[in-house]
Amino acid sequence: MTIRSLPPEVYMKIAAGEVVANPACVLKELVENALDAQATALTIRFQNGGIDAICVKDNGIGMSETDITQSILPHATSKLSSWEDLSALGTFGFRGEALAAITAVSETILVSRYIGEETGIRLYVRGGSVLESKRVNVGVGTEIEVRNLFFNVPARRKFLKSPVSEERKLMELLENFLISFPQIRFRIEKDAETLYEVPKQTLLDRLPTLFQGIDRTEWQFLEEHFQGLTASAYIADHKYYRRNRSAIHTFVNGRLVKNPIIYAAIDGAMEPVFAKKSHPFLLLFLTLPTDFVDINVHPQKMEVQFARSEWVFHLVQKLLQKRAQETVPEIALPEAGGAVPQRAEPLERERPAFFRTPSPPVDTAERIYAKPEPFFSKPEPTLMRAARANEFTLEPTQPGSQRVLTVVGRRYVLGEDPDGVFFIDFHAAHERLLFDEIAANNGKVASQEVLEPIPIHLTPLQTNLIEEHRLALEQFGFRFKKQDQRYLLEGIPQKIGLQDGESILLDILEELRLSTIEPMPEVFRRIFASVACKQAFRTGDTFTVAQAEDLVSLIERKGITTCPHGRPVRFRLTFKELDRFFER
């Protein structure tokens, strides 16, 4: 086989694939170019998830006719003149490299006027070829519109996701720009609808727009210095958390990055504050010397390497440990001779009435697991959490050697058998039973109507997730109504209160946000666990000995040892262990 050099139109399409994988990659390059051009105001428009069109207009310094012509050529840039410049690059990238890749696989219109010049220049480029170039009367700055992405690379175009999915990637990217550059005025439009219009402001003033439901007073600012490196952060009150890292945004010199060293430092510092697999709302900014960080690990520049990773780790931990020390209270131990705790009172022995409305049928061929015996029947639609005490479906308790004695701490069942005593976490056990029931029903959860549709406060990204996954959300028991470009909540899963309903909806949206990078079965498993957790009995809820006996019988019969999140359900002490402790 003869070796031949590839023609330019072929190798440019191949090179473009390293930089431009989807509309979000195009938008990232265009916005970063605008910021490098000293813009203070950006207008961003996109259509059909960015597949049909993406436009970024800025008020930066613009480009001259020579520069705009050079900008679409490969290996042309105003940022570098020598190899040494690359290691000390303080800007986002080289405008020529990005535009060369973008114009090679799209139809692009570039309009720019350089500061100090009276007119601008307009280029129309199709598949890397300039089809039109003319002088135009425009203001200082640059406007670039990218149309019909991958029109000439059908093999790559067919791998684009649905417009709704591609739109979600655009919104995630734009949220990070809004966080990182509060000093920039942004106007963002989707299909002629304005999603964001934010002025130049402080980051603290911008946060309520981006993280609805968290008041500006619930964010704390932190700052730390080490060996010439600077770290600063805004972290929300610890009552706000997510089961994944989607609320952690990390930036190095203004650039969004994902780095395992940074994540490890965050996890270690936050371990005393958050439960296992829970993560904070955190905006972390590292300001490092340009020769300390390598941003050219990957063409898309999301990955970085540090000259001294241990310094970065120490800096981030030192910064966040300030918050951890303020949050974790000191435990006051009782003095010797203190009052003896009161003995737990036995529970009532009366058996309550139970709802017996049957569950809706499901297609057994689609079941994920074998259907468990129901722990609950479906109650009549209600928003009253107090009804939980009457939600059991009683089954005849099998005669056995286990005996429930009482409940301690309003959350643990205490029982005995011939060999010892045991404690059961009622919430964890109940949560696991509900989880198994939801999984057996293939994720189908009955819905209850709310008395009056409730407006939901959503960010544009969350609205996009509802549009993308509406059928799945309805399967989980949520019902929506769209009115005047916003969603109203008309139904929530049974057995949870209205406040919990809105809270769990936001949790589910965050899980669905990860569906493009994690297997869907794992995402749905976490969603099932979240729904079960909200439905389950909680500390302080009233339940009877009869209900506790049914619970113990069920988990024993099914061999349940952990909750859906992996926490233990039962703790056991044998009489021999007790005898050894008391030296009998």
Alpha carbon distance 74, 65 (integer Å): 17
* CATH of 205-325 given 3.40.50.300, 3.40.50.10240, 3.30.230.10, 3.40.50.720: 3.30.230.10
Cα distance between residue 309 and residue 361, in whole Å: 56
Task: Tell me how far CA of residue 377 lies from CA of 303, 432, 440, 559, in angstroms.
Answer: 50, 16, 15, 21
Q: Does residue 408 register a pLDDT over 90? A: no
**What beta strand segments (E) does 148-240 contain?**
185-190, 193-198, 219-226, 229-236
Query: According to the model, what pLDDT value does residue 511 have?
Result: 80
Q: What pLDDT is stored for residue 365 in this prediction?
A: 33
Report the pLDDT averaged over residues 240-246.
84
The most confident of 25-39, 315-329, 432-446, 490-504, by mean pLDDT: 25-39
Least confident of 11-20, 119-128, 366-375: 366-375
Q: What per-residue confidence (pLDDT) applies to 367? A: 33
Closest Cα to residue 174, out of 48, 280, 27? 27
Q: What's the pLDDT at 14?
A: 60
Q: Which phi-psi region, left, alpha or beta, contains residue 155 (left: φ > 0; alpha: ψ -120 to 50)?
A: alpha
Q: Which long-range contacts (CB under 8 A, 24 or more apart) does 355-360 make?
A: 355/379, 355/380, 355/390, 355/391, 356/393, 359/441, 359/446, 360/444, 360/446
pLDDT for residue 504: 81
What's the pLDDT at 210?
A: 93
CATH architecture for residues 8-201 = 2-Layer Sandwich (3.30)
Which pLDDT score, from 0 to 100, does residue 301 have? 55
Lowest mean pLDDT among 110-114, 440-444, 533-537, 539-543: 539-543
pLDDT reported for residue 77: 62
pTM, full prediction:
0.69
- The residue type of 498 is L
In the block, which residue shows the tokens 């001779």? Answer: 337
pLDDT digits (tens, 9 = 90+) for 421-450: 999 998 999 999 988 888 888 778 888 888
In 3D, which of 370, 388, 390, 409 has the Cα closest to residue 497?
Answer: 388
Confidence label for 45 from pLDDT (cuts 50, 70 and 90):
very high
pLDDT confidence bin for 76, thresholds 50/70/90? low
3-state SS class at 408:
strand
The whole-angstrom separation of Cα 26 and Cα 461 is 18
pLDDT at 61: 96
Domains 8-201 and 205-325 share a fold: no
Model confidence pLDDT, tens digit, residues 294-319: 876 555 556 788 999 999 999 999 99
Q: What is the pLDDT of residue 327?
A: 59
HEC string of 244-259 equals CHHHEEEEECCEECCC
Name the least confident of 95-109, 128-142, 189-203, 517-531.
517-531
Where is average pLDDT lowest: 67-71, 332-336, 439-443?
Answer: 332-336
Domain boundaries, the chain: 8-201, 205-325, 376-575
Given the DSSP bridges, would you call strands 185-190 and 41-47 parallel, antiparallel or unpaired?
parallel
pLDDT recorded at residue 354: 29
Give pLDDT, residue 84.
Answer: 54
- Residues in CB range of 517: below 8 A, 6 or more apart: none
Average pLDDT score, the chain:
80
496 or 569: which leads in pLDDT: 569
Cα dist from 557 to 123, 372, 551, 561, whole Å? 74, 11, 10, 11
Residue 381 buriedness (CB in 10 A; 0-12 / 13-18 / 19+): middle
CB 411 within 8 A of CB 539: yes
Exposure b/e, 205-231, CB count within 10 A at least 16 = b: ebbeebbeebeeebbeebebeeeebeb
Q: Is the pLDDT of residue 206 over 60?
A: yes
CB of 223 closer than 8 Å to CB of 283: no
Question: Which residue type does 184 have?
Answer: I
Span of 138-142, 183-187, 190-194, 334-338 with lowest mean pLDDT: 334-338
* Distance separating alpha carbons of residues 584 and 578, to the nearest angstrom: 9
Rounded average pLDDT over 147-167:
91
Q: Which fold has domain 376-575?
A: Ribosomal Protein S8; Chain: A, domain 1 (3.30.1370)
Q: Which helix (H) or strand (E) holds 109?
A: strand 107-113
- Which of left, alpha, beta for 94 (phi over 0: left; psi -120 to 50: alpha)? beta
How many CB atoms within 10 Å of residue 363?
9
Residue 18 or 489, more confident: 489
More confident of the two residues 379 and 48: 48
In 425-437, which positions are buried (b, 16+ CB within 10 angstroms) versus exposed (e)? bbbbbbbbbbbbb
pLDDT at 199 over 90: yes
Q: What was the pLDDT predicted at 87? A: 54
**The amino acid at 524:** F
Q: Which two tokens stand for residue 300?
A: 């898309």
| Mean pLDDT calculated for residue range 7-33 | 79
Give the mean model confidence (pLDDT) for residues 358-379: 37
Question: Does 3 score more than 80 pLDDT?
Answer: no
Contact between 96 and 73 under an 8 Å Cβ cutoff? The reply is yes
The model's pLDDT over 79-126, given as tens digits with 9 standing for 90+, comes to 545 545 555 555 565 445 689 889 999 999 999 999 999 999 999 999
Mean pLDDT for the stretch of residues 22-40:
94
Q: What is the tens place of the pLDDT at every residue in 281-297? A: 999 999 999 889 887 65
Position 172 scores a pLDDT of 92
